[in-house]
Structure 1
Amino acid sequence: MNLSNKSGISEFYLIGLTYGPDVESFIFSLFLCMYFVIIFGNFLIILAIISDSHLHTPMYFFIANLSFADICISTTIIPKILVNIQTQDKSISYGGCLSQVCFVLTFGGFESCLLGVMAYDRYLAICDPLRYTVIMSPCSCVLLVLLAVFISTVNGLLHSLMLLKLSFCTNQNILHVFCELVQVIKLACSDTFINTLLSYTVTSAFSGVFLAGIIFSYIQIVSSVLKIKSVQGRNKAFSTCGSHLSVVFLFYGTALGVYMSSSVSDSSAKNVIFSMMYIVVPQMLNPFIYSFRNREIKQAMRILIYSGYYFHKLN
C-alpha cells in the first residue's frame, strides 16, 4: 500500500522513553535481556516440538504457533526501542509507524485467535474424546491456524488503512514506546470519529468473541471434569488446561491494561509500564509456563539441549 498522508508528515517521535542517560541505559539493558529470553525461550520450544515426534499433536502444534507469534510481536517492537535508545534518536518514519501498527495488531490478534483455538482443542479433548482425533486432524489444525492468520491480518490492515485517511499537523510526539493505534489516532487533526469507533468496536468485538469462546469452553470443561468420580482423573484433566489458562490470564490481563491506559491516560510513564507488560512479559513467560508445567516439553527440551551439547563437543 502507498504509505503517504494528506499533511506530508514524514516521521513521528516516540517519546515514551525520554529519561536521563542512566535510566535509559538501565531500560536498554532490561529490554535487551528480556528480548534475548523471548527469542531463545520461544525458539527452543519450537525446536523441541519439531524435533520430538511425540509432540506432533494438535495441542503442541498450536503451542509452537503461539511461540512463533510471541517472537514476531516482540521483534516488531523491541529492536526499534533498542535502536532509539542507543542512537538517542526517537524518530520513526510515517511508513514505519503505520507498518508497526499493522504488525502489532496482526500478531496480537493472531495470539488471541490461537488462545481461542487452543481452548476449543482442550474442550474437544476432555468433553468429546472419541471424536477428538477426527475433528482435530492435521488438516483441520492447519486450516484453523490459516483462518487465524487471515482474520488477524484483515484486522491489522483495516486499522492501518484507515489511518491513511487521517491528516497529521504539528504535533508528532507519540507518548509511547511504539506506534500504538490509539496514541497515533490522538495526533490527527482531522475527524477521527470513524477511526476511534473502529478501534473500540472492532478490537472489542474481535477480542470479545474469542474470550467468550474460551469462557464457554472452560465452563463445559469444568462441568465434564466434575462428573469424573476419581480425584486422580479430575486432577489429570485439569492439569492439561493449567498452562493454557495461565497464558490466557496473562495475555488478556496485560492487553486490557494497555488498552485502558492508552485510552484514558496520556502519562508516558504509565504507557511505558503497561506496554512493557504487554509486549515483553507474556512473551517472555509463555515458554516458562509451558516448559515448567508440561513434562513432555521439558523432556523434549532436555534432549534437544543435550544433543546440541554433545554435537558441539564432538566437533
Structure 2
Amino acid sequence: MNRREVQIPPATTAQPDSRIAKFAPWRRRPVLRGEQGAFAVLLSLFVHLALILLFAVTFLERPTAGLSGSGGVIASAIMTQTELTELMDSAAAEGAPAIESAMEEVVQIDDVMSPVSEAALSSLEVTELGNTSGAGEALGEGMEMGAGAGGGSAKFFGVEARGSRFAYVVDCSGSMTGERLDALKIALAESVEGLLEHTHFSIVLFNSEAFPLTGSKWISATERFKTEVKREIGAITANGGTNPLPALAAVFAMKPRPDAIYLMTDGQFAGGTEEQIIAQIARMNNAGDRRTPIHCISFIERSSEEIMRRIARQSGGTYTHIPAVGARGEMP
C-alpha cells in the first residue's frame, strides 16, 4: 500500500487583519499604569508650583520700610522704669505726641491728710460758689511767656490760664476751714474735671510745709486719673501756717516745667519778709528757659493782696480777688 506523504506547510506568525486592529483597541499595546501615574504627578506638581508662585507675587505684601527706619533688623530691648520716665519726659518736652495714653501706669496717690467723707463733699452744690468767674487783672509784662503751649486751657475760680501743663498751689492752712475749704474743694474739683485729656496737671497743697497731692510727676488728665484725684480732693483738711515757698519749689522742680501756675491763699505768707519771698520766687522762676506765669488768687481776705499783685506782675500772670464764698471775682 502506497503511503501518501502529506506535507505540512511551515508555521507562520498570524498577522492580524489591519481592519480588525483598527477597531479592536484591546489588541493595541496597553499603556502601563505606572507610566500614566508618573505623568499625572509631574503635571500636577508643575501646575501647583505655578499657582503658588502666582499667589506669592500677587497677594503677599512686602515689608513696610517705615517699620525699621533703615530697612535693617528691628532691635528690641527692655527699658528700666527710669529710662522710660526719662524718655517720656524728653518726648513731652520736645512736643512729641504724649505716650502716656498708650502706656499709662496706675498712679497711687497717697493720703495726705485725714479723709473727709465723700458724702460731705457730694452734698455741696456747685451753686454755693455762685459765679466766681472774674476776669482778673493782667499785671506786668510777658503775659504771653509760657502761655499757649500745647493749645489747652484751664480755669480755676474763674481765672483762665493757657498751656498744657497746669500746677495748682493752694492754701490749706488753719484759716481755710468751714465754707472756705468747701469752696476750695469744689473749685479745684471743677477745674480738674474741665481739663482736656491731652493736658497734664499737678496739685500741691501748702500750710507750713508742702504736700504734693498728686505726687512729684505730672498727671495725665484722663477720666480715670481725674476721678481718682477728685476723690483725694475730698479728703483735704486745713491746719498749720501759710508758707507757699516749699510748694512753689516743688512745682518749679518738675520736668517739664509748668506752662501756668495757680497760687491761691486766704492770708498773709510766712517764711520771710515780703521782699525775701518775692526774690526767692523770682529766682526759682528765672532758673528755667522761660518764665512761668503765676495767676494769683486772694480768697476772702485782702491781707496778701500787695504781695500777690507783685508776684503776678513779676511773672507775667494775673491777680484776682474773690471777696467771699459765692461772690464774683474782682479786679482790684
What TM-score comes out, normalization by structure 2 length?
0.23
Higher normalized helix content (fraction of residues):
1
Choose 1 or 2 for highest CA Rg: 2
Higher normalized strand content (fraction of residues):
2
Higher relative contact order (CA 8 A, sep 6+): 1
